[in-house]
Amino acid sequence: MLTYENKLWKANSSLIIAGVDEAGRGCLAGPVVAGAVSMSVSTASALYAGELSGLTDSKKLTPVKREHFFELLSGNSEVHAASGWCSSEEVDTLNVLCATHLAMRRALENISVKVSHALIDGLPVKGLPCPSTAIVKGDSKSFLIAAASIIAKVSRDHYMMEMDKEFPDYGFAAHKGYGTHVHVAALHKYGSCLIHRHTFRPVQDVEQSLPGFEWE
């Protein structure tokens, strides 16, 4: 999990590296959230061998384990973590790929250190504030990307649980905005709400079936 990081640090041990990943790209509602996590070579090595030894792709972890790692990352002064957000409105305006890339850029801009090089989960991303290396399935191959996936996923989950209180008909606390059968059934019953992505087909189909509906 530290192979990519160590390759960069071997060339320059003082290089400030950040892992970057996103959460919520495929949802029907809510924002796209990107996480960025940076730490020194000594901190990464110590945490990888210790408290964060089980860290991997957030999707492979239980909610309890994700929350545990989130607290460890957020509470460690040697770990620099930030998130970048793109709202559902921005997803509709920009398209989800552009919104995802913007969220990643915002995460890197929000982090408290000047990142020299970013390790990005997935395919190459243009317009970032530093050079980057894209790693397909990087959240299961890179320690820093896995950490970023935790920051992104848990931050977004917390937001969607708050939105569940504001829009209780949709079950956001359970599915976090993904297109589950329960979510789609609620869309057909209640229509869409303010945080739905109007350009996504299941939402669009429901809205266009409503008499007199017009979305701009």
Please state, in angstroms and rounded to a whole number, the distance separating the CA atoms of residues 63 and 61: 7
Q: Is 120 within 8 Å of 135 (Cβ atoms)?
A: yes
Q: What is the chain's mean pLDDT, rounded?
A: 94
Reading phi first (left if > 0) and then psi (alpha if -120 to 50, else beta), residue 30 is in left
Backbone angles phi, psi at 53, to 5 degrees: -65, -25
pLDDT for 122-170, tens place per residue? 999 999 999 999 999 999 999 999 999 999 999 999 999 999 999 999 9
Residue type, 128: L
Is residue 216's pLDDT more than 50?
A: no
Report residue 184 as tokens.
Answer: 């789609």
Work out the percent of the chain whose per-residue pLDDT is above 70.
97
pLDDT digits (tens, 9 = 90+) for 2-25: 999 999 999 998 999 999 999 999
Residues 6+ apart with CB under 8 A from 155: 23, 33, 35, 83
Q: What are the structural domains of the chain? A: 3-166 (3.30.420.10)
This model's pTM is above 0.85 = yes
pLDDT in tens, 51-93: 999 999 898 999 999 999 999 999 999 999 999 999 999 999 9
Q: In which band, very low, low, confident or very high, does the pLDDT at 207 lie, cut at 50, 70 and 90?
A: confident
